[in-house]
Structure 1
Amino acid sequence: MKDTEPTVIIVPGLRDHVADHWQTLLADRLDRVRTVPPLDHDRLSLDARLAALDAVVGDVDGPIVLVAHSAGVLIAVHWAHTSTRPVLGALLATPADIEKPLPEGYPTTADLDRGGWLPIPRRRLPFPSILAASSNDPLADRRRVAGLAEAWGSRFVDLGEVGHLNPASGFGDWPAADLFLQELLQRSGATTRETAPVPSES
């Protein structure tokens, strides 16, 4: 009998595992969740990232919802246009605009281009999505991210000044992720169990 309860697939960006990152903390609260592991090699290869996501998805029997952050958003979007696997929905948080030079310490546009990341896809996604953007993200301009949301058919949410929504910006836990995830599941008619109650909006 096919499993009908959704599994959340966490799609991190290019970072290694960070214990106090909101994606890690969200995963700790969920009963049915899988996280795409970091790569030990070919770290800037988009094909390797897509294969890693595909391997995690392939191990899940039943419906899935994606929760992606930063470059993970781009991985999820590229994957969505190459995979035939149905997806209930996706939470896409603060995507990195890799078509513009990133701050020092991040991969260069040339390196990302060689890795197969460019251009950023701008076709409508085949599933509902919420794109949560920051008004002061050092890795992306809000107006350009809003343009991506329009191209992907995503509901655009301006989070205000939250930087890149990571520990370096003062964010460990991000309770709104639970709310957005529940919104996506409710829109699809699905539900998922959590180990902690969904917080109310403040």
Structure 2
Amino acid sequence: MRATVLILPGWQGRGHAHWQMRWARLHGYTVVEQNDWLKPLRGDWMARLEETVIDTPGPVVLAAHSLGCILVAAWASVSRHTARVRGALLAAPADTDAATLKDRLPGWSPIPRQALPFRSLVVGSQNDPYGPPQLAQALAQDWGARWVSPVEAGGIHADSSLGDWPQGHALLQTLHKD
């Protein structure tokens, strides 16, 4: 059975031009909608992801961006439903431990560092304003994920001029394989 792709946007959600929204439109992927994109509560976001995974028939693949990556790690540390996840693409994890984000995103620190119980890829950027490449690479190691670093892709968001981000989609496809 082909896995359902769940799109997990980051803080403030994502606009129409973001690669995640493009993927949702182009490929019919499911966007996990949160109640509050501007003042995200970790517990609320985790509960929403848990409900979505439980309610989705068959296996799932997660495509997370920024705060969505931290959500995946937090959720995986407590969920009893992680076996439903075939894999996760984690693009540009946000540094919620940094003072600049810690104050704006209370409750999202510390970043969970235990190994993820499913296959995962962390994609970082050399010039990400919300998460330095050293952090993304360290998280990949801690999470037991494969590290992939594009060249100068900013925050790997709509302003990064990635369009449909075909390279990212090709990485996502590798997670569908058993």
Give TM-score scaled by structure 2 length.
0.91
1:45 to 13, 30, 41: 41
How has the CA–CA distance of structure 1 residues 67 and 42 changed in structure 2, closer, same or farther, with 3 Å as cutoff?
same
Structure 1: unaligned runs, 5 residues or longer: 103-107, 189-202
Task: Give the letter for the 1:164 counterpart.
Answer: G
Structure 2: unaligned runs, 5 residues or longer: none
1:81-127 CA distances to partner (integer Å, 9 max, x unpaired)? Answer: 1112111000000011111133xxxxx413423xx211101100000
Aligned to 2:145: 154
Could you tell me how far 1:147 is from its partner in structure 2?
Answer: 0.6
Aligned to 1:25: 22
Query: Would the aligned equivalents of 1:13 and 1:70 in 2 still touch at CA under 8 Å?
Result: yes
Runs of 4 or more consecutive aligned structure 1 residues displaced over 3 Å after TM superposition? none
1:133 to 110, 116, 124: 124
CA RMSD of the aligned region, Å? 1.7
Q: Which has the larger radius of gyration?
A: 1
SS in 2 for 1:88: strand
Aligned residues with identical type, % of pairs: 38
Distance 2:154 2:127 in 1: 5
Task: Give the letter for the 1:47 counterpart.
Answer: G
Aligned to 1:110: 103
SS in 2 for 1:112: coil
Distance 1:28 1:167 in 2: 15
1:115-140 CA distances to partner (integer Å, 9 max, x unpaired)? Answer: x2111011000001000000000111
> How many residue pairs get matched?
176
Could you tell me how far 1:159 is from its partner in structure 2?
Answer: 0.6
How has the CA–CA distance of structure 1 residues 145 and 41 changed in structure 2, closer, same or farther, with 3 Å as cutoff?
closer
Query: Would the aligned equivalents of 1:90 and 1:130 in 2 still touch at CA under 8 Å?
Result: yes
